[in-house]
Structure 1
Amino acid sequence: RLSAAQEAARDAREAKRAAKKSAKKRKGPGEGEISWTRSTFERLVDAAPEQLTSRFEMTHAMVLNVLAGAPAAGRDPGEHLVWLARNNDDPPTDRNPHLRRLGEIYTSMKQAGVVEHVSSAQASASGEPRLRAATDLPDDFALNQPLSPFALAALELLDPESPTFALDVVSVIESVLEDPRPLLFAQEKAARAEAVAAMKAQGMEYDERMAALEEVTWPRPLADLLGDAFAVYLHANPWIEDQEISPKSVVREMIENALTFTGIVGRYDVGRSEGIVLRYLTDAYRALRQIVPDELMTDELRSIIAWLSALIRAVDSSLLDEWEAMSTGQALPASDGDGTEGTELAFGAREDGTVPFSANRHAFRTAIRSALFERVEAMSRDNVEALARLDEASRTPLVAPWGEDEWDAVLERYWAEHEWIGIDQRARALSLCSLNETPTREDVLELAPATASSDFERGQVARIEAIADAVDEAAAGTFWLATQTLFDPEEDMDWRIVALVDVPASDEAGRVALATITVGAR
């Protein structure tokens, strides 16, 4: 029980709070009125001006702009950069941080091949300054991000002959962009939900599932390659130690899954953050256009960049109009609409929005690999009924599907040589699944068994010869050969599934039209 003094103190506090709540707020100016007077103006005039703080800093973009513009203005780029570092509104200090930063930027750009420093003799012979931008860069090369030089250097690690080269370029560029965190968290949530379902199906205990989930994150293409490369790059460029690469798959996922802006926002339920997603796509478009040099620019990459530009304009064209006006020095065109142009289209879509199943080559290849691995999983369970159903479901007009007897025959031979078939991440490696998109008659005939001693083998020879004739007569690219190598206990990798993919039939059916040709040792 409170004493009288305590009760009085409590009442006083409550009365004080009540008074504060009931105190009327100062009424603001009404509509069309102003809140200042002449005395307010005179007080501002007579008062001492506030001290302005210099925000000058050396950046990669500034260095490149000077290298591009100084010669035309009759200045030496190197001397002008040093002059800028010394002549600015920063207070004088014993050590000039801008000169140090300029040196760091120069070293970083030189090691990345962005700039070159030639001898005086070379400069005199060419009529150009000693310090200059590399000639093989795009005119609007982007160095407004500290890791742009790393992205340029990392592109050299990719294999231009790889069927995923264009997507890998996209992944390198995405790794140096600012994270659209709401979308990445949604991707991680979806990946973890899928992982939990798979682990429950495998009978994993709760504690094991929770421990395994710690390793599940959003998709991070090329994470190992880029991580190792960045460690080497950081060793040579220690001044970027406060920067980190962030592998992610936003644009890449949209390409692989034929998604529009609305599609990816809806898939991950990030409608409240669609502005962040759109800004990210705009940054990705700019970086792709600015960083990728001409010698690495393939037709597929040009198609991706053009598609991304059209997609962004379909959502809000002002984002690109403003940037392109600034980059060209032209006036921003007047807008007479709602800032959108056209309809959102997925990568590879027709004008009417429909996407032929094979038009998006990345999504098509992924579907083929998935179809083949479904057979691997069924083989691992020795489930000939499921294998026959898979072949029937993906049948092609050209080739009759395998039945239970054919699958039973090949599995009997496999189990005589190996104890199990792997279906883990090692077995799912892209290196174990190859696609020949322009097979020849000879490629098909090589699949025939060397000897045909059984009815099954003799039937295989006749089947393969008929397929070879069809491939030879068809236009290039009509049929593909897909090969999935099986992961065996000894890691001999000697067994494989080879299937024929009928591209026109796939477009007509809206699914992979695939027929098993042969399963066996090489």
Structure 2
Amino acid sequence: MTRERRLHEFLPAAQDTAEEFILEAFLDWVTGTGLEPYPEQETAILELLAGHHVVLSTPTGSGKSLVALALHFQGLCEGRRSFYTAPVKALVSEKFFQLCEQLGAERVGMLTGDASVNPGARVICCTTEVLANMALRAGEDTDAPYVVLDEFHYYGDRDRGVAWQVPLISLPRTLFLMMSATLGNTAAIEERLRAYTGREVVHIHSDERPVPLDFSYRETSLHETIQELHEGGRAPIYVVGFTQRACAELAQGLTSLSLCGREEKRHLAGLLGDFRFDTPYGKDLKRILGHGIGVHHAGLLPRYRLLVERLAGKGLLSVICGTDTLGVGVNIPIRSVLFSGLSKYDGEKVGILTARDFKQIAGRAGRKGFDDRGSVVCQAPEHVVINKRLAEKASRGGKAPRKKSPPRGFVAWNQKTFDDLVSRAPEPLTSRFQLSHGMLLALLQRPPGGSYRDVISTISRCHERERGKRRLRVDAATLLRSLRRAELVEVTKSSEVGARLQVAEELQSDFSLHQTLSLYLVEALTALDPDAPSYPLEVLSLVEAIQDDPRPILNAQTRKARDELFARLKAEGVEYEERIRRVQEVSYEQPEATFIAESLALFAASHPWVDARDARPKSIARALFESYRGFVDYVSEYSLARCEGLLLRYLSQVHNTLVKTIPDDYKTEGIYDAIAFLRTLLRIDDSLMEAWQDLAEPGDIDEAEPAPDAPFDLAQHPAALRARARSELLALVRALAQGDFEEALTLFRHDPAQPWSAGEIEESLAPYFERYGEILFTPEARQAHQSQLSAEGSRFWRVSQVLVDPEGDRLWALHGEIDLRDAHDPQGPLFTLRRIGP
């Protein structure tokens, strides 16, 4: 059997910018895959090769990704960089792996703000905000000759639309491919882009779907509807829910249905056998997947989402219960989309889906080459289904039932609502340009010397009307004054250019102010005492106060605190009514709440756009750091199995804020300890880096291009090195203390010449446990002097970590090394374990 050739095999030996070669080579590859391009695809590829911007507005499944792939191929042939951008990290990572497969892993990198893989590659997959920030900082000097803006309908998003507009008004030399299945009229956007870049803009539109859709409305129970669709040959089915909890509960409930045959279950069990389900929800997910049922939402760890997508891609899942992440292009092949409802919470209120959101989700039904049609089904509200069944029972002579009422705050829908959404066109795209402190700082950092003129010219090019631009100029002046008060921006004078604004020189190069209250955080730091023992915890509290509340986690904290108080009061004999009253007064922990409230009130007095109630004190990262708990331990303690992904994402945001928003002058050794601790916690999911390394040949990784900016060098930052080493060593000690030797294997760097196994670790520790019984992981065991680093040259350290025993002998230790002679800031562990013993 002939192996299908990958696209990178068609690249020229040397750079070739000839349009004819690029087109011929790409079409040769397309022919070899057995695909036949649609007319819209061919037209789009030709227009891009001719140097024209393309707006590609065709239905889901019509091959927009093939056009994007052609643009990346063009960039590689010419030796130029290309970007693929999308709104959600799940879609970015999916495209990343697809492009790695076709273009070669060494040529593809990813940047999402949380993850960085091969950042110096020729092809970069990133969230749109990442590209927008690059464009703000570097302007027309940004190395982005070719850009794919996927899901371009986000241009009209109230909160995030500015990120889709910034590249269009900042990168005049870039060739853009803008894609979406639900664009609507974009004539005004096209005209502005044409005027700014001097390139022609071609809009390619089609409503013709490769696989037609049928639509139906059901008044049976949700389980009955799923069973009927499955028995009618309409699986795989994606059941759309609008809360993560609803998706998880439905998936659990569906395991009682017969959706998967015995042979299919056996096959799934074989595939899942070696996968690492080592978190609390992993055990539940493994059982659910074993029934041919998937779960897909942002609350899952990335590696679990990736597993579900891979199983679905192989056609092994009959039903997937997920949120509307499906509507932003995650490529899960399905035959039927089943809406469990038509109303959702949009961040402010519950309302009926927009026509655009509905069509984005519905359009995923039907797979070219597999289905002759796709099915879109809408479920009637649960109380309507129940009342219909009760009425039918009454019509057969039963007693007239009492009707079931809808839930409080319910927003109703019916078949007419569904039919209207099917027939209605997507809403018009509206400019959502807005300024922030972070944007101003980025513009002022433009080389060779950003100035306020860059801010004003950006406003003048934005797509707002003149009235909106006047408002933006006033906003810019107000934001700038606050940056000057915080001494983040200063006025400099020179005989050549006179007075100009510039960002304070002492700020780190990746300093950012992208949270709403970031500037408040920087100002509040000045009121803290860096020499106080509590300083790192106080800083963590400030950082957590400016993050959005991860509600399910805070609810779990409140529930646990109330349960503990109730049990204690009951044991003390307190009356039931008094117990209830006192328990209701308990909430989650909010350290430094008084200081935060008072300091924010002062800040708000001179920053009128800030609401003094915007701060949200909480203790998640702080509580973890204070007790040095592990990720899995915390999930288990608060029963957060269904929120593991949410916890990971929240901790990542806290980590990034500590790194990028706390000025280096305020980073003490304790702050570096907190940063290192969180970094170690976040390694609970290294799926993206591991999967990339699996795709790349060993030599390919060595050949991957370096990041364009000088990397952070741990060897030049002793405090950061010590903190990271200690954090890794303590995580390893905790795993050994718990007897989790499989987990311990993941916590240090392995030398291929001296591999370790879980059995070898256990064998090495056997004499210790025979003598002492246990390894202590107490506050004393975590003290800094238990970790020793001894430098041998400028980039090599001998390392030992004392294992504290109950008798206080302290004779045993972990012995190894840290070698940075060939690395600056390794992604994985630093410490290489050599031996365990006295």
TM-score (normalised: structure 2): 0.34
Cα shift at 1:61: 1.9
Distance 1:212 1:93, change over 3 A: same
What's the secondary structure of 1:96's corresponding residue?
Answer: helix
Alignment of 1:268-347 (within 5 A): 268-316=638-686, 318=688
Partner in structure 1 of residue 438 of structure 2: 61
Partner in structure 2 of residue 114 of structure 1: 488
Structure 1 gaps of 5+ residues are 1-15, 37-47, 332-344, 358-434, 436-475, 479-504, 512-522
Task: Confirm whether residue 228 of structure 1 aligns to residue 598 of structure 2.
Answer: yes
CA deviations over 1:101-159 (Å, ceiling 9, x no partner): 2123213322323222x2xxx41169786211122322212211110111111112222
Counterparts of 1:194 and 1:232, CA distance in 2: 36
Cα shift at 1:280: 0.4
Q: Is the 8 A contact 2:366 2:372 kept in 1?
A: yes
Alignment of 1:170-181 (within 5 A): 170-181=540-551
Alignment of 1:387-398 (within 5 A): none
What's the secondary structure of 2:507's corresponding residue?
Answer: coil
Alignment of 1:50-129 (within 5 A): 52-69=429-446, 71-72=447-448, 77-93=451-467, 96-116=470-490, 118=491, 122-124=492-494
| Amino-acid identity (%) | 30
What's the secondary structure of 2:526's corresponding residue?
Answer: helix
Larger gyration radius, structure 1 or structure 2: 1
Counterparts of 1:172 and 1:50, CA distance in 2: 40
Counterparts of 1:321 and 1:67, CA distance in 2: 38
Distance 1:264 1:49, change over 3 A: closer
Distance 1:477 1:80, change over 3 A: closer
Distance 1:274 1:283, change over 3 A: same
CA deviations over 1:335-369 (Å, ceiling 9, x no partner): xxxxxxxxxx9776153435899xxxxxxxxxxxx
Alignment of 1:121-200 (within 5 A): 122-124=492-494, 130-200=500-570
What's the secondary structure of 1:138's corresponding residue?
Answer: coil
Alignment of 1:459-498 (within 5 A): none
Counterparts of 1:346 and 1:477, CA distance in 2: 13
Cα shift at 1:182: 1.0
Task: Confirm whether residue 509 of structure 1 aligns to residue 811 of structure 2.
Answer: no
Q: Is the 8 A contact 1:112 1:149 kept in 2?
A: yes
Partner in structure 2 of residue 456 of structure 1: none
Cα shift at 1:285: 0.7
Counterparts of 2:427 and 2:442, CA distance in 1: 32
Distance 1:319 1:228, change over 3 A: farther
What's the secondary structure of 1:276's corresponding residue?
Answer: helix
Counterparts of 1:311 and 1:206, CA distance in 2: 41
Q: Is the 8 A contact 1:173 1:288 kept in 2?
A: yes
TM-score (normalised: structure 1): 0.52
Counterparts of 2:635 and 2:660, CA distance in 1: 26
Counterparts of 1:210 and 1:152, CA distance in 2: 41
Task: Confirm whether residue 207 of structure 1 aligns to residue 577 of structure 2.
Answer: yes
Counterparts of 2:471 and 2:691, CA distance in 1: 36
- Greater fraction of residues in helix: 1
Q: Which moved more, 1:94-103 or 1:224-233?
A: 94-103
Counterparts of 2:468 and 2:635, CA distance in 1: 52
* RMSD of aligned Cα (Å): 4.4
Counterparts of 2:486 and 2:689, CA distance in 1: 30
Partner in structure 1 of residue 624 of structure 2: 254
Counterparts of 2:564 and 2:591, CA distance in 1: 18
- Counterpart amino acid of residue 584 in structure 2: E
RCO comparison, higher one (Cα < 8 Å, 6+): 2
Counterparts of 2:737 and 2:367, CA distance in 1: 61
Q: Is the 8 A contact 1:349 1:355 kept in 2?
A: no
What's the secondary structure of 2:619's corresponding residue?
Answer: coil
Cα shift at 1:509: 2.5
Q: Which moved more, 1:345-354 or 1:207-216?
A: 345-354
CA deviations over 1:462-486 (Å, ceiling 9, x no partner): xxxxxxxxxxxxxx989xxxxxxxx
Counterparts of 2:442 and 2:689, CA distance in 1: 22
What's the secondary structure of 1:157's corresponding residue?
Answer: coil
Distance 1:124 1:314, change over 3 A: same
Counterparts of 1:225 and 1:260, CA distance in 2: 29
Counterparts of 1:320 and 1:157, CA distance in 2: 42
Counterparts of 1:218 and 1:138, CA distance in 2: 34
Cα shift at 1:296: 1.8
Partner in structure 2 of residue 42 of structure 1: none
Partner in structure 1 of residue 589 of structure 2: 219
Distance 1:97 1:317, change over 3 A: farther
What's the secondary structure of 1:351's corresponding residue?
Answer: helix
CA deviations over 1:283-302 (Å, ceiling 9, x no partner): 01100001222222112221
Q: How many residue pairs were aligned?
A: 318
- Counterpart amino acid of residue 435 in structure 2: M
- Counterpart amino acid of residue 89 in structure 1: H
